[in-house]
Each structure stands twice: as C-alpha cells, then as structure tokens.
Chain A
Amino acid sequence: MGSSVSHAAAPPPPPTAVGLAVALPPKQDEKAEPKNVDWLNLPCPVPFEEIQREALMSLKPELFEGLKFDFTKGLNQRFSLSHSIFMGSMEVPSQSSDTFKVPTAHYEFGANFLDPKLMLVGRVLTDGRLNARVKCDLTDNLTLKINAQLTNEPHFSQGMFNFDYKGTDYRTQFQIGNNAFYGANYIQSISPHLSLGTEIFWLGHQRKSGIGFAARYNTDKIVVTGQVASTGIVALSYVQKVSEKVSLASDFMYNHLTQDATSSFGYDYILRQCRLRGKLDSNGVVAAFLEERLNMGVNFILSAEVDHRKKDYKFGFGLTVGE
C-alpha cells in the first residue's frame, strides 16, 4: 500500500518498503522466523515409548550374572536361527528388601525373520516359555505390533497388540492387552526440537486408569525428557553427547506413592573395538557393562553390578557369536 503510493508519487521508495514489498508475498503462509523454521514440515517425533531411549540405552544395559553364550546363525539375508545358553542366577522379585536369587540354567532356541515389511521373532526356552514378537507394516503409515509371552502354566501368559499410526508430524498408538488392558498414546512435534506427548491407559480387571504427559527436547548434542504420570511417577532425564565417542546421561525418578526418589548418572563410550557403559546410582549401585569386539562377529561381554547397600555383587561374562 505504501509502496504503490510512493511509486505513483515518483520519488524512490525507501529501501525498507521495497524490502518488505518483495519479501511479503512469498512468505504469506509462514511466520517470518529469523532461523527460517518451516512450521508446516516439522519432523516426525520418536515413538512415545522411545521417548527416553538415549537415556535408557546408556543407563540400563542388560546386566546379568553368570555365563551367557549366544550364537546366531544366518541362513539367509532375512532368516536366522539363534541358540543361547545361560547359566547363572536370576533375581526373583520379592516384597522384602532381601534379594532372592534362584540359580537357573536354560537353553533358548530362537528364529528370526526380518523383512522390511514383516518382522517375526520367536524365542522358546527349555521350560516351554515362548516369547513372540511380530511387527507388520499394514500400510505405509500403519503398523501392527504383537508381543506375547506364553507359558505352560495357566493364567501366566501375556499378550499385547499395538496399532501404530505415523502422521507427518505426529504419531499415535493404540494398545490392547490381556487382562482387559487398553491404552493409547499420542505424540506431536511442536517445533523442530520439541515434542509433547500424552498417554492414557485403562486396566479392566482392576478398574484402574491413568494418564500421563511427556515432553522431549532434543538437538544434535543434548536430549532432555520429562514424564509425569497419574500413577505418581515423575521421570526426568538428560543426555549430553560430549563427542562422537562419548556421551553422558543422567536420570531422575520420583515415585509419589512410595515417596521414593532415585537418581543415576552414567557414561557411554562407543569406541572402535568396544562399547563401555557405566553407571552410578543414588541407591548405592555401581554397574558397568563392556562389549568388546574380538573378531568379526565375535563379541566378548563383561557385566558387573555392585550394590553396596544390599551387599549384592553380580558379575557375569559371556560370548556372542554371529551378527
């Protein structure tokens, strides 16, 4: 408007008006952000259950006690069989503060079929327990996941069906489980770095329901997440990628019902021949997990968890052969 008046009057328009007149028409749909953020094309957020995945990968390695031997044999690019032997103690969860360890030994046979559209993973143990996972891409955006643990004892089996839908900048998931468990969650990208999510679940048999909220802020170097649930749990985590090989993570969890707070701090070194993860806890637990690549396809594993408060010392070693 100002520029047309100035054109008619013949004097040269002020440089700011020209700049605005040229810049305004193409940017009518987007806000004029200094960093040129494209608010209509935000990236797709991570799935809701993986919102804390960097922190979990660094702070919760699969610690074990005893001997573990895994052999994976690939018959095909997509099909492989796995044989696994474990001899050691497994912890049985108990109400008292004493840890209750049961010495176990089992052989586990597994078969994996991994296709881009269909993934089938099955593991069966010597006592008859079956662990089955199915992931099927029904369409480009809709995925069906099934997770089941079947046992020979009646009423101990569990199964869960998940339907995931991935939109352009959101993801939503609907879960159906046994014991009449229904859950749903939704996560949306608010900005290129921030995503917010919410979840709700309902347990049919116990008539319990809950709602939770989560937020995740990540850049190239840091990931900060926070989760609050109506079950009285608050969980925060912070991961900093110090360099290509080193990342540090810290985690805080507070349970309002049991007035219990735990915080832990850990590191994750990903080096050429090995991966070393260590963690220190406010419960007096110090843990470390080392995976060393001895040769192509042969990995040596050492696991240690020292609980000073409960005087529980767990050391494990193992070998993983195969990809």
Chain B
Amino acid sequence: MASNVSLKGKEKAGKGSKSSEERSAKCVKEWSTWAMKKAKVITHYGFIPLIVIIGMNSEPKPQLYQLLSPV
C-alpha cells in the first residue's frame, strides 16, 4: 500500500511537472484578459474625467464655474 501510494504520488508529480508550463501559460492568459477587461472599464469611465482634471490643473488655471457656464 505504501508503494502504491508512493507510485500514485510520483505519477501525480510527473503529470504536474509536464503541465505546469501549460498551466502557467493559461494563468498568464487569464490574468491578461482580466487585466484588459479592467483596463477597458477604467478607460471607459475615467478617460474624460482624466482630461478634465489635467486641463483644470494646467496653467493658467481656469475657475470651476467655467466648466459649467456657457460663457
């Protein structure tokens, strides 16, 4: 029984080492897809506010009411 257990353990270790590269490649792909999705959402909601913030902090600084008034 001990030898069976050790054999099973060796087989599992063998299979694990063969597919560890595939698994890590899959992980990288999943994480990069997740990162691209998050980046897309962040860009979608944050791009225009980013431009407004950069613009309001550029010289000469415009006033806050100028953002909303049509004059």
Chain A contact residues, CB within 8 Å of chain B: 71, 73, 75-79, 81, 109, 111-113, 115, 120-122, 124, 128, 130, 132, 148, 150, 152, 157
Contact of B48 among A115, A124, A148 (CB under 8 A): A124
Complex Cα spacing A71 to B52, Å = 17
With A111-B52, A111-B55, A120-B54 already in contact, the answer to whether A75 and B44 are too (CB < 8 A) is: no
Residue interface mask B51-63, A partner, CB < 8 A = 1 = 1101110101010
- Is B34 interfacial (CB-CB < 8 Å)? no
A150 touches B40 (CB 8 A): yes
- A75, A77, A122, A130 — which one has the most chain B CB atoms within 10 A of its CB? A75
- Is B47 interfacial (CB-CB < 8 Å)? yes
- Is B43 interfacial (CB-CB < 8 Å)? yes
Which residues of B have CB within 8 Å of A111? Answer: 48, 51-52, 55
Complex Cα spacing A81 to B49, Å = 12
With A73-B70, A76-B60, A130-B48 already in contact, the answer to whether A157 and B40 are too (CB < 8 A) is: yes
- Is B3 interfacial (CB-CB < 8 Å)? no
Contact of B66 among A75, A109, A132 (CB under 8 A): A75
Which residues of B have CB within 8 Å of A77? Answer: 60
B15-70 contacts to A, CB under 8 A, are 40, 43-44, 47-48, 50-52, 54-56, 58, 60, 62, 66-67, 70
Complex Cα spacing A250 to B60, Å = 46
In the assembled complex, the CB of A135 is this many whole angstroms from the nearest CB of chain B, namely 13
A112 touches B48 (CB 8 A): no
Q: Which chain A residue lies CB-closest to B71?
A: A73
A81 touches B54 (CB 8 A): no
In the assembled complex, the CB of B67 is this many whole angstroms from the nearest CB of chain A, namely 7
Which residues of A have CB within 8 Å of B52? Answer: 81, 111
Complex Cα spacing A75 to B44, Å = 24
Complex Cα spacing A109 to B50, Å = 14
Complex Cα spacing A81 to B67, Å = 8
The 3 closest A-B pairs by CB, nearest first: A79-B55, A75-B62, A111-B51
With A132-B43, A148-B43, A157-B40 already in contact, the answer to whether A113 and B54 are too (CB < 8 A) is: yes
In the assembled complex, the CB of A152 is this many whole angstroms from the nearest CB of chain B, namely 8
With A113-B55, A124-B48, A132-B43 already in contact, the answer to whether A79 and B62 are too (CB < 8 A) is: yes
Complex Cα spacing A77 to B62, Å = 10
B55 touches A122 (CB 8 A): no
Which residues of A have CB within 8 Å of B55? Answer: 75-76, 78-79, 111, 113
With A75-B67, A81-B67, A150-B40 already in contact, the answer to whether A122 and B58 are too (CB < 8 A) is: no
With A75-B62, A79-B56 already in contact, the answer to whether A130 and B47 are too (CB < 8 A) is: yes
Complex Cα spacing A124 to B51, Å = 12
Complex Cα spacing A228 to B15, Å = 53
B44 touches A112 (CB 8 A): no
Complex Cα spacing A124 to B62, Å = 22
Which residues of A have CB within 8 Å of B40? Answer: 150, 157
Contact of A122 among B47, B60, B62 (CB under 8 A): B47
Q: Could you write out 12 A-B pairs with CB less than 8 Å apart?
A: A75-B55, A75-B56, A75-B67, A76-B58, A76-B62, A77-B60, A81-B67, A111-B51, A115-B58, A120-B50, A148-B43, A150-B43
Which residues of B have CB within 8 Å of A122? Answer: 47-48, 51
Complex Cα spacing A128 to B48, Å = 12
Complex Cα spacing A124 to B48, Å = 8
Which residues of B have CB within 8 Å of A157? Answer: 40
A120 touches B51 (CB 8 A): yes
